[in-house]
Amino acid sequence: MEEGSAVNDDYEIAIDFMDMTNGGHLWARASDARLSVGMFVGRHVVVGDEDADSRVARIVSIDADGNFELVVLSGSVESHSDLLAPASSNVSASSVVIGPSG
C-alpha cells in the first residue's frame, strides 16, 4: 500500500490479523476504513491486510471516536458472500444505526 493509504481495493477495512484475539475480536480505527463504506453495528465487511487473505468480519460496536470492534468470521470471503452488502447498496445516512434506537 502507498503511504497514507489505509485500504486497498480488496477489502473495506484494513486490519492487522496479528491483533486478533483467540475469539476472533479486534479493533480497527476509523481511518482504516474505506471512506465510501457506510458503517453500522451488525454490518458485515471484508477486512484484510497485505500479508494475508481477506476475511469477512461483523461490526459489533462503534465507539465515540468512530473506531470499530470487529469479530472475524472463519472461512473465506466467498463462503460468506451472502452476508455482504452489494457494492451498490442503498444504505443512506438516515438508515445507518450506530447506537440503540429509540
Among 70, 72, 56, 71, CA closest to 11? 56
Would residue 101 count as lying in a domain?
A: no
Tens digits of per-residue pLDDT, 66-75?
A: 899 999 999 9
Instruction: Please give the residue range of the domain that contains residue 43.
Output: 13-81
**How many domains in the chain?**
1
Q: What is the Cα–Cα distance from 41 to 18, expressed in whole angstroms?
A: 23
* The amino acid at 65: D
Give the sheet arrangement for strand 52-62, strand by strand: 13-14, 44-49, 52-62, 68-72, 25-28
Assigned domain for 39 exists: yes
Q: Does some domain include residue 7?
A: no
Give the range among 31-40, 62-71, 80-89 with minimum mean pLDDT.
Answer: 80-89
Write the CATH number for 24: 2.40.240
Q: What is the pLDDT of residue 39?
A: 86
Q: Express as a percent the part of the chain with pLDDT over 90.
A: 52
Q: What rounded mean pLDDT belongs to the chain?
A: 79
Burial (Cβ within 10 Å: 0-12, 13-18, ≥19) of residue 64: exposed
Q: Is residue 36 part of a domain?
A: yes
